[in-house]
Structure 1
């Protein structure tokens, strides 16, 4: 868990300052969630604090899938506190209002099946190549004082192996190393 220290909610840039940093094992790219779904990811890490970019930030994107049918897509932030877009879905894509979007696990940042958003509108405009789709984040981004940081278990297992290997090596005597 990490506590909220400050918010920076400008029109296109949407960030939170958290009370955990590298001293607590926080790393850049780390997923940030709350009880309702995906909040964003860590983009800057200091010793005792870090900055999380919200999924609604205009430069943020999350690989998702439609829970109903597995259709893969990407949600992008639009700068507004409650709006996401799903660009580049063809007119024939099977997506509907009220579809639940969850993380797909693609890209290796967010584990699969965490709730992200609900589709709020689907527009099929004649003459356009792609649909215009908007979604609303499930995480309550404008409220709450704490978030959950998710650690990648592969990174933890790798660190544990490296630590164990280093410890085993340090326990050896000079004679043992020579053999």
Structure 2
């Protein structure tokens, strides 16, 4: 039986955000809701993502290769660039408001065939995304230097449309929380 009606648990760090897949046939558009389940924004992946330093360019307009985060009528772009050139690239992600960088994260690949990559939030504060095993559910915790600072987890083990709950500190503004939500969704989808 598919379980789509799970109640929200109280937040430990701040106001909860919910990322809900727009359609079960497309995992590339998510509505972002507050804890009252009112839509406050969207996260949209492009048809073809393009790194800012890509050698092969298929988008003439760089904005067409960015992930878009919409909040209160504003668009924020998520750009990425490759830090290395190998079979699996180290990658840096930026949340940009126009020309201003609001947040940064890095995906670092460990050497070795069976090694897992590590995803780190660099700005606005340092934290590592740590995968926690749960029965048929994805869960990532943000571990800072002083301990747990937030988490993003699937709402239920079986869903017709993916829903994740982000429990993040109130010190982050909503677009930055949505950036963290994007990073977690990207990690869940790619298993990078």
TM-score (normalised: structure 2): 0.27
TM-score (normalised: structure 1): 0.28
More strand by share: 2
Instruction: Mark the structure with the bigger radius of gyration.
Output: 1
More helix by share: 1
